[in-house]
Chains A and B, each alone.
Chain A
Amino acid sequence: MNTEPRGFKVGLVLLALVLMHFTVRPLLGNDRLAPDFLLLALMLFAIRSRPANAAVAGFTVGILADALSPVAFGAGALAHTVVGYLQAWGKAIFFPDNLLVTSGFLFFGSWLRNFLVLLAGGQTRGAELFWALTAWSVGQAITTTVAGLLVLLTFRRWFKIGIIE
């Protein structure tokens, strides 16, 4: 099966998500709740890649995120690496073509990223940590999941889950 044309198209969608992160996202209101298009691009890449590639992509995205929020440099890299790797592994174990399962993956991945960033960052404690994990992180996970589902439904044919390599 020739997967390269589809891979190229998927690459274009991921690139569009990266651009949307810096153009559309600032216009979406509350910054802590707006969908994270960069993380979404990573997760959509990870669920159709090998864990090794997903981990490297996660590390790259994480370092970029750390450069943008340098309060706990390295925390983002750690979190995104773990999320990328787990997403790739998870898709190998569970049913990848089910929209509900994919939603669960996107939601869990978003929340886990925030959890790990807060944990590794060590800057947030007590009640702030509780609210960050239960309110802001859940809210952002929901909006990121919704955005992910919209992308998957719009480009369903291109995102038909499969291993590229």
Chain B
Amino acid sequence: MRQLSEPFSSRRDTLTFVICLIFAVTARLTPATYAEAIASTIRETVLSPFLRLQDEIQQLRVWRVRFEEISARADSVSAIAGNVQGLMQENARLRAILGLRARMPVHHIAAEVLFQTQQTEGTTIIVSAGEREGVWRWAPVVALGGLVGSVQTVDRNTSVVHTWTHPNFGVAVTALGDSVVGLVGPLFGGGATMMLELRDVSYEGEIPEGTPIFTSGLGGVYPRGIPVGRIRRVLDDQVGWSRSFLVEPAVHPAAVSHVLILLAETEDLSGAFERRQ
């Protein structure tokens, strides 16, 4: 028979619980700078072997995908040797996957996203490149489709990236060849899928649905020419002053497994991403 009454009625249990709660609340109220320092220390010590293990597993997955691609290519070559059209399509697909790295005109590094479990995940992501690889705070982070966010904290082997879903995210953008300028930030309360909001657009600025918007390079964090998303519809008319637009993001952080971190400052990346006006 289990002994329940004595140990479970202990004041020690309640006291320990309250102390833990106080520590937790203190941690929650700790200023961001200190909290980041504590989190960074934990990642570099206790969690370091586990994160390295996760990185190894991610790389195994990448190797498996690459192996399947190579196998598929080998099969394709043997099966459709006479079918030039099919071969060209296969080449085009592979170029699209590898193309971004090849086109990127600035020093960068590829990193895997080490996904975690909390529901706040997506707002920040941990990537498998850090100080050792030359990553610096505020380095822009992009994926195949466009902008992901920027590096917030740099550890020795990993970095924390604030994605565009973070409440503090904001980027200056441009559309239709600089005829429209504005600010883009996350839109809260829009639905199950996070969307972006283009704000402070001049009232005269007409933007058709589907228009791609790009970073403008203003503000100094993000270089010019990174795709941010596409215009969906007008959100709000502030008569006589400015307009807001709903923007479908170019990249959803939850769907990204690999990112490129830009390691050198550059002014223009327009050539790196394909513009489909």
Which residues of A are interface residues toward B (Cβ below 8 A)? 18-19, 21-23, 25-27, 30-32, 34, 36, 38-39, 50-52, 55-56, 58-59, 62-78, 81-82, 85, 88-89, 92, 96, 114, 117-118, 120-121, 123-128, 131-132, 135-137, 140, 161-163, 165
Contacts and interface: CB of A to CB of B under 8 A. Distances in A.
A124 B57 contact: no
Interface residues on B, range: 35 or more
A26 B61 contact: yes
B98 interface: no
B269 to A, nearest CB: 27
14 contacts: A22-B57, A23-B57, A26-B115, A31-B116, A32-B254, A50-B7, A52-B13, A69-B121, A73-B35, A74-B28, A85-B20, A128-B188, A132-B119, A165-B7
A78 B119 contact: no
Which secondary structure dominates chain A's binding surface?
helix
A103 to B, nearest CB: 20
Contacts of B124: 69-71
Contact of A73 (B2, B28, B51, B188): B28
A65 B39 CA distance: 9
Interface in B154-202: 160, 166-167, 188-192, 194
Nearest to B12: A52
B189 A56 contact: no
Contact of B24 (A59, A96, A136): A59
Contact of A127 (B8, B23, B153, B191): B191
B2 A163 contact: yes
Contacts of B23: 59, 77
B27 A38 contact: no
B123 A123 contact: yes
B53 to A, nearest CB: 5
A56 B115 contact: no
Q: Chain B CB within 10 Å — which of A70, A121, A128, A131 has the most?
A: A70
B10 interface: yes
A124 B123 CA distance: 10
Contacts of A117: 118-120
Contact of B35 (A50, A65, A74, A89): A74
Contacts of A27: 57, 61
A72 B46 contact: no
The 6 closest A-B pairs by CB, nearest first: A74-B28, A126-B189, A74-B27, A73-B35, A52-B16, A67-B42
